[in-house]
């Protein structure tokens, strides 16, 4: 017999972000409300910059952004004892092991009842690049005669890192999960999509425990070039004149500024987030502390544009309404909204519009709204999971982290509660929103467990 949404709880959390290794580091970064974005001339886990390190790169230098700013993976991840083919997999394994240990599941649950819903938005782009370059750099002592020589690494597991599903394989194997496994891909909503899928498996009695989450490591010339061409990256080139006039070196112009009057794009971050979902009755039976209760999650499609959200916010408003109904919650019960909040002009405007139409202007003013992307960057495929982890941390402490990098309040949002400093959470129930290119829309509601 399948369970209900109220039977699903969260018993473990793990995270790797620009704030460092672990959820404690993530929380300290979020609650300070300061940007962790840094300027690098290197790609992740490489001591040489793209132009120096890849002299024969297939990516023309003219396509690269003029600077590489981002929420880079912490350097200490390299010494954390993990071995894998791509940085996103290193991050995924570290986050999963932290969550699995906190959940105390090892030896306590039936592996056949443990599922794994762990996604990425694109697979290992660094691994893909390395394999491509290897095929175009044949050994000098081997005549090519126009024949491509495939490297020995293609005979090992290293090449598997190219595929988007491989992270979920590593995660499931690390925890000995033998139940259902899936690798959701929903662009920047991937992480929340994974959690929604995992909760559904428990509700449908397919699993008692599900390892959910996502990972991404996309500070890579090809990815940055694509976003740069689309004009969605925060950069000196895109920055409003008012920002450039306020700083001498332009440093503060390269920031993600959700809900700010001077917002002009996002900054890419890297990392991984993991949440262990569990059937509540089982967690209570083994006396495992409950971190939060999963009330419900829903997803829809915003079939308006590949890049731009529907300006009328029709689908997003319907999604929020459906999620509240599924979770059996009224808008006045929500004490915090963790927004997708990319810092692009259209996303932030449409997101607030959907919330305003659901709550009403007066009631929405009583619900704090914030975005984590100003602090750790936009983690793309890992955004939904890392932000959901951060939201659970906020719920446990009944504190709302602020949105970083606010310079000037946008008058469009004058009727909203957008804290610039940490504030008390008025009610222990949270709505989390995620969206992604192509129209992916996700929403979930969690509350403090009794």
pLDDT in tens, 369-405: 999 999 999 999 999 999 999 999 999 999 999 999 8
For residue 343, name the pLDDT band (cuts at 50, 70, 90).
confident
Please indicate, yes or no, if residue 315 is contained in any of the structural domains.
Answer: yes
Angle (deg, nearest 10), helices 383-397 and 190-203: 70
**Rounded to two decimals, what is the model's pTM?**
0.89
Please indicate, yes or no, if residue 3 is contained in any of the structural domains.
Answer: no
Please indicate, yes or no, if residue 2 is contained in any of the structural domains.
Answer: no
Please indicate, yes or no, if residue 124 is contained in any of the structural domains.
Answer: yes
At residue 135, the pLDDT reads: 66
Ranges of H-type helices in 334-382: 345-359, 361-364, 373-376
pLDDT tens, position by position, 145-155: 555 555 555 54
At residue 244, the pLDDT reads: 54
For residue 2, name the pLDDT band (cuts at 50, 70, 90).
very low
Report the pLDDT averaged over residues 301-323: 87
* Domain CATH code at residue 297: 3.40.47.10
φ, ψ at 427 (rounded to 5°): -140, 140
At residue 242, the pLDDT reads: 61
How are beta strands 271-279 and 336-338 bridged, if at all?
unpaired
At residue 3, the pLDDT reads: 43
CA-to-CA distance for 212 and 194, rounded, in angstroms? 6
Higher pLDDT, 328 or 406: 328
> How many structural domains does the chain have?
1
Please indicate, yes or no, if residue 106 is contained in any of the structural domains.
Answer: yes
CA-to-CA distance for 173 and 297, rounded, in angstroms? 27
- At residue 205, does pLDDT exceed 70? yes
339 close to 371: Cβ distance less than 8 angstroms: yes
Please indicate, yes or no, if residue 398 is contained in any of the structural domains.
Answer: yes
Please indicate, yes or no, if residue 344 is contained in any of the structural domains.
Answer: yes
Please indicate, yes or no, if residue 230 is contained in any of the structural domains.
Answer: yes
CA-to-CA distance for 154 and 171, rounded, in angstroms? 21
Report the pLDDT averaged over residues 202-230: 90
- At residue 133, does pLDDT exceed 80? no
- Domain hosting residue 202, numbered range: 8-447
């Amino acid at each position: 017999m399948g369970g209900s949404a109220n039977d699903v709880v969260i018993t473990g959390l793990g995270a790797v972000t620009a704030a460092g290794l672990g959820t404690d580091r993530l929380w300290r970064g979020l609650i300070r409300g300061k940007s962790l974005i840094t300027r690098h001339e290197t790609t992740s886990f490489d001591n040489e910059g793209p132009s120096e390190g890849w002299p024969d790169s297939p990516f023309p230098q003219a396509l690269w952004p003029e600077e590489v700013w981002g929420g880079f993976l912490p350097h200490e991840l390299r010494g954390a004892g993990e071995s894998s083919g791509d940085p996103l997999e290193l991050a995924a394994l570290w986050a999963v092991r932290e969550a699995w240990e906190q959940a105390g599941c090892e030896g306590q649950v039936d592996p056949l009842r443990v599922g794994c819903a762990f996604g990425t938005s694109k697979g290992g782009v660094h691994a893909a690049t390395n394999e491509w370059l290897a095929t175009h750099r044949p050994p000098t002592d081997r005549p090519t005669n126009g024949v491509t020589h495939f490297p020995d690494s293609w005979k090992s597991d290293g090449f598997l890192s190219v595929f988007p599903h491989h992270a979920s394989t590593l995660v499931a194997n690390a925890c000995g999960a033998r139940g259902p496994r899936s690798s959701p891909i929903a662009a920047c909503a991937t992480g929340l999509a994974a959690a929604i899928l995992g909760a559904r498996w428990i509700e449908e009695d397919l699993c008692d425990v599900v390892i959910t989450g996502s990972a991404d490591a996309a500070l890579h010339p090809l990815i940055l070039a694509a976003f740069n061409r689309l004009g969605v990256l925060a950069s000196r080139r895109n920055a409003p004149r008012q920002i450039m006039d306020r700083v001498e070196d332009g440093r503060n112009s390269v920031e993600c500024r959700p809900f700010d009057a001077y917002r002009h794009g996002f900054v890419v971050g890297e990392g991984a987030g993991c949440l262990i979902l569990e059937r509540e009755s089982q967690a209570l039976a083994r006396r495992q502390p409950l971190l939060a209760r999963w009330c419900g999650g829903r997803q829809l499609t915003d079939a308006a544009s590949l890049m731009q959200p529907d300006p009328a916010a029709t689908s997003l408003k319907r999604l929020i309404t459906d999620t509240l109904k599924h979770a059996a919650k009224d808008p006045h019960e929500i004490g915090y909204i963790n927004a997708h909040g990319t810092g692009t002009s259209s996303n932030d405007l449409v997101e607030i519009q959907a919330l305003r139409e659901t709550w009403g202007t007066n009631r929405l003013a009583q619900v704090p709204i914030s975005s984590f992307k100003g602090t750790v960057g936009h983690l793309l495929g890992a955004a939904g999971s890392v932000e959901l982890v951060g939201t659970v941390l906020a719920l446990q402490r009944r504190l709302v982290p602020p949105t970083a990098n606010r310079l000037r309040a946008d008058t469009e949002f004058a009727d909203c509660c957008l804290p610039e400093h940490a504030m008390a959470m008025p009610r222990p129930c949270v709505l989390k929103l995620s969206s992604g290119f192509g129209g992916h829309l996700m929403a979930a509601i969690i509350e403090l467990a009794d």
